[in-house]
Amino acid sequence: MDLTTAQALWFLPPVLPICIYVIWSDLARMKIPNIATDTLLVVFAIVGLLALPFDAYLWRWLHFGVVLALGIAFNAAGAMGGGDAKFCASAAPFIAFGDLVIILVLVSAAALAGVASHKIAKRTPIRRWTPDWVSWNPEVGKRKFPMGYPLAGSLLAYLVAGLFYGAA
């Protein structure tokens, strides 16, 4: 991994509660609030200065721009929700370019696990504990899936993997 253990240690504590909020919000309301994506970007702006060499910090801002442009295009084509596009763009600076394949594998695995766990949870007592969640609605569920759940989970998994497998 190109992400270092030290970078993962810097990024994980402030990113964790934001990702948990994104997961909850997307499951409950099928929305990723702007405050979550904006806060994630502010965390990178501040913590990135401390965690990264300055040249790497500046290059990581390019990740934000490229992923935002792609997200806008996918959203315009109807292939991705606006909140998902904003979350991906805000999360992109946390990902080292050399770890692109790793994050793509994580997102793919998390998407499969997310769909499976959501379908299973729908048929368990969890649904009774959260009856008002929009993602349980069969009308919504046939058209959409709360991708914030696996996207935020992927970012967390990437940072946790950095703790154990990150570069020195």
Q: How many Å from the N-terminal Cα to the C-terminal Cα in the chain?
A: 10
- Compute how many other C-beta atoms are within 10 angstroms of the C-beta atom of residue 100: 12
Per-residue pLDDT of the chain (168 residues; tens, 9 = 90+): 999 999 999 999 999 999 999 999 999 999 999 999 999 999 999 999 999 999 999 999 999 999 999 999 999 999 999 999 999 999 999 999 999 999 999 999 999 999 999 989 888 888 888 888 888 876 665 568 899 999 999 999 999 999 999 888
Closest CA to 51 of 117, 5, 17: 5
Percentages (nearest 5) of helix, strand, coil residues in the chain: 80, 0, 20
pTM of the model: 0.93
